[in-house]
Structure 1
Amino acid sequence: MSQNYSEVLLSNINPEKPLPADLFVKVDGKFIKFREKGDPLTTERFDQFISKGVKNLYIASSLIMSFLEWVNESKEKEIEELIQMAGEENRGFFAQEGEVRASVYETFLEQELTNEVVENLQTSVKGFVSNISKNPITAKAIAALADKNSTIADHSISVANLAVYLALVCGHGHQFVLENIYMGSIFHDYGKAKIQAKDLISTDGRLYSQAIQDHPEKSAKMIQKTEGMPPQVINIVLQHHEQFNGHGYPAGLAGEDVYELAQIVSIANVFDNTLKENAKQPVAERVKRAIKVIEYDKGKNWNPKFFPRVTDALRKIEETIIERENQRL
C-alpha cells in the first residue's frame, strides 16, 4: 500500500526542536526521508533551505493533524515561556512579534521577493511598530528574546527588535522612522541568506570572503526590485557595514556621511552576532561581552553621539537577565 504525503510549511518548524514525525523531501516526484521523528531539522539545514527558496517539506498524510497540533502547542508554549521571563505585561508584544516572525520566515523562504510578499510583510511590520510606538519595547522583552537567533531569519528579527529598542532611547519615536528601521533590519542580511551553501563551506575561502563583502549591495539590489520600498530602508541595508571612521564597506563612508539609522542597525547587528558567536556561554556572560564590544568600538565603528544612551539601554538588558537568573537560584 503506497504512502500518501502532505505538505507542511517549513516556517512552522523550529529547527532545534525534536520533530513529531518523520520528515520527507520531494525530489523528482519521489518522497525521500530526510529526518527521523525525534531528530531536529537543525539550523544549518534550515538556512540552506532559505538560500534555495524551499518553502515546504512533507510528512505522512495520516499524521498531518497531530503535526498541526504540535505546531500550535509549540507556539503557545514558547509564548508562555517568554511571559514567564518578561511578565504578563509583555504578552501582547510577544504574540504580535510571533506573527511578524512568521511573516519574515515566509518572506525569506520565497525563491524571489515579489511585491505581494513584501507588501504583506510591510503590513505586518506596520501594525507591530504602531503598537511599539504606543507601548515601547521593554528591556525585559528584549532580554527574553536574547536566545532566539538561531537561523539567519531569526537573527534579522532579533536585530530589528533591538534596533527599534535602541532607536527609541536615541529619540526616534516617529512611526515611519521605526518602520524603516525594522524593515531595514529584516533585510540587512537578505543577500547573505540567499548565498548558495557551496560558497559558504569554507570561511577562509575566496568565494566566502567575496560573498560577505558583497552582501550589502546584493541585498539592496534585491529589495530595490520591489515596489514601495522606501529609500531609507535601502540605505540602511546598503550602509549597515559602513563605519564612522571610514573603514567599513562597501563605500568606505565616514562620519556624518553614514546614514544615522544604518548606524543604529549596525550596533544591533554586532550585538546580536556577538551573542550568537558565544552561544556556549551563559546568556548573561554573552550580553556582557557584547556590551564590551559595542563600548570598545564607539567613536570608531559608530558615531559617539549615540553614547552613553545606547550602552545604558543595553545594560538594562544585562541587569534584567542577571536578576532573572538570580531568582532561579
Structure 2
Amino acid sequence: MNKRFVLAMVIALFTLSSAVFASNRKAGHVILIGLDGWGSYSVEKADMPHVKKLMQEGAYTLKKRSVLPSSSAVNWASMFMGAGPELHGYTDWGSKTPELPSRVVTENNIFPTIFGLLRKADPKAEIGCLYEWDGIKYLVDTLSLNYYEQSPDYTKNPTALCDMACRYIKDKKPVLAAVCFDNPDHVGHQDGHNTEAYYAKLNELDAYIGKIIAAMKDAGIYDDSVIIVTSDHGGIDKGHGGKSMMEMETPFIIAGKNIRKSGLFEESMMQFDCASTIAALFGLQQPQVWIGRPMSQVFR
C-alpha cells in the first residue's frame, strides 16, 4: 500500500477523532477540588458560603459513598481510576503501589486514570495536580500530567496550596486540574470530627475555594468550566476507615457550564463514579475495566 495513502488515512482518522472529541465536550475545563476527610454529615452545619452557592447553582449529592476501607489512598485512587480496589489494586490508606495486581495497566505502568484518558484524547491539553498530602502523586499517573507539585508544609504554610492553584490556573488555564487539600482530615485526627475546630477549618477551606473560583474568572475560563468539590472519605471521633455513614458518605458538588441548576439529586453515587463523570464531561469513552457511571442526569 502506498505510504502516502497510509499517512493520509492516519491523519484523516486523527482529525476525525479529534473533531468527535471536541463536539462531545460539555466544557473546556474541569477543576476538581478535593477536601480530604470531609464528611457529608457536616455540610448543613458548616459555614461554607462559596460551596453552598455552588450547590444552589449546580447539582449535588450528600450520599456519595466511599469504597472500603474508608481511607485516603484507596479512595483517591478510586476517584481518579473509575474503579474500586478489587480492580485497581490500591487497598490501604497509604498505598503507593497496588497491593493487588491491577487488572489492567497502561503504557505508563499504572491502572487507567482520568488524567491518562484525557492525555490520549488530547495530547496538547494542560493537565495538572496540586496537593498537600504526598500520597496523591502515586495515584494520578504523573507521566500523563504537565505539572504536579506538593505544596510546602501546610501546618506552617496553610495558604500555600491555594496560592499555587490560583497561580497555575491563571498562568496555564488547565483543561483538567485536581487540587487536593489534606484538610479537614488533619484536624479530624487531631481535634476530632464534628468539633468546633473541624468546622472552623471547613470555613477556612471554603475561603480557599472562593479564591480558586476568582482565579478561574481572572483567567477567563470560568464561563467555559465545570467545578467539582468532593472528598475521599468522612470520619467519626478522631478516625476513619470503618463502615459508619459518617465515615463513608461524602459530598459531590458540581456546577458550571452545561450543568443543570437542579440542586439535590437522589441517584446513587460511588467514589469511582467521579472519574466517569469527568470523562463524560470531556466526551471520552471510558475503559472497559472501569465500573464507574457518569452522573449524566446533572448535564444539560
TM-score (norm 1): 0.26
TM-score (norm 2): 0.28
- Bigger Rg over Cα: 1
More helix by share: 1
More strand by share: 2
